[in-house]
Amino acid sequence: MPRSGAVLRFSGFLLAAAALWAHHSTAMYDLVHGTIIGGLVTRFDWENPHAHIAVDVTGENNEIEHWTVELESAGMLHRLGWAKDTLQAGDRISVTGGRAKDGSFRIRALWVQLPDGRKLPGLPLPEN
């Protein structure tokens, strides 16, 4: 009986690790073909495990598209130069990144251009 308990605990650990890995995957985004969006910030959620920006983008036929921009964790963003007050509702930004493969209005940010012209990374930059 003790052996089967250990097997169950180990199996649970593996499932939890797989779920954590899947959560942090960028597989749902097309990071090969870049997408650029520009619009007005409606919300900036400084949270873990990922920060998010809600952006209203004027699409075809002048219809408003409500986009969600996914960024790294708050801690990682802080190391990349971000702060919880970097963006405010009403700020006009441009986002370069990978759009969701399902065509939804979601994008994984590689770069965010701020209203003052600065560009901040949305992901850690690869080391040379």
User: Has residue 1 been placed in a domain?
Assistant: no
SS3 category, 104: coil
Q: What would the pLDDT profile of 85-127 be if each residue is shown by its tens digit?
A: 999 999 999 999 999 999 999 999 999 999 999 999 998 877 7
User: Has residue 73 been placed in a domain?
Assistant: yes
Whether the CB-CB separation of 109 and 96 falls below 8 Å is answered with yes
Q: What would the pLDDT profile of 17-74 be if each residue is shown by its tens digit?
A: 333 344 456 789 988 899 999 999 999 999 999 999 999 999 989 999 999 999 999 9
User: Has residue 113 been placed in a domain?
Assistant: yes
Whether the CB-CB separation of 121 and 110 falls below 8 Å is answered with yes
- Show the domain range for 113: 30-121
CATH number, domain of 54, equals 2.40.50.140
pTM over 0.85? The answer is no
User: Has residue 68 been placed in a domain?
Assistant: yes
SS3 category, 15: helix
User: Has residue 100 been placed in a domain?
Assistant: yes
User: Has residue 44 been placed in a domain?
Assistant: yes
What's 105's DSSP letter?
A: S
Number of domains in the chain: 1
